[in-house]
Amino acid sequence: QVQLAESGGGLVQPGGSLRLSCVASESIYSFMGWYRQAPGKQREMVATITRAGNTRYADSVKGRFTISRDNAKNTVDLQMNSLKPEDTAVYYCNAYFVGTYYWGQGTQVTVSS
């Protein structure tokens, strides 16, 4: 069983920045990532990163968001710049561990003036 604890969400104006952080209760030897779900929409992948540091991004966030992880601390962060109103969603941390995907409780990100 893996516990994922997210932090860093909040309200920001368009063009602003936020940094999300997630800490896992176990060492994750596979993928970690961030997903998001806006009201009335399906959950979608935002960014993922392997233990070796290989990254993948949704087209909608390329060039604006950066995912990183610290394997020694069991953390994965998402730096979000140039935020847009359409980035408003609940953001979920995700980790793949021993054949199972685990999810955090989610953190709200609201981009509004």
What pLDDT digit, counting tens, does each position of 19-67 carry? 999 999 988 888 999 999 999 999 999 999 999 999 999 999 999 999 9
Q: How confident is the model at residue 79 (pLDDT cuts 50, 70, 90)?
A: very high
Contact 107, 37 (CB under 8 A): no
- Reported as a single tens digit per residue, the pLDDT across 88-109 is 999 999 999 888 999 999 999 9
Q: What are phi and psi of 29, to 5 degrees?
A: -100, 10
What pLDDT band is residue 1 in, cutting at 50, 70 and 90? confident
Q: Is the pLDDT of residue 15 over 90?
A: yes
> What Å distances lie between residue 85 and 26, 41, 69, 82, CA to CA?
34, 15, 26, 10
* pLDDT score, position 82: 98
Q: pLDDT band for position 7 (50/70/90)?
A: very high
- Amino acid 29: pLDDT: 85
Yes or no: say if 70 and 53 are a contact pair by the CB < 8 Å rule. Answer: no
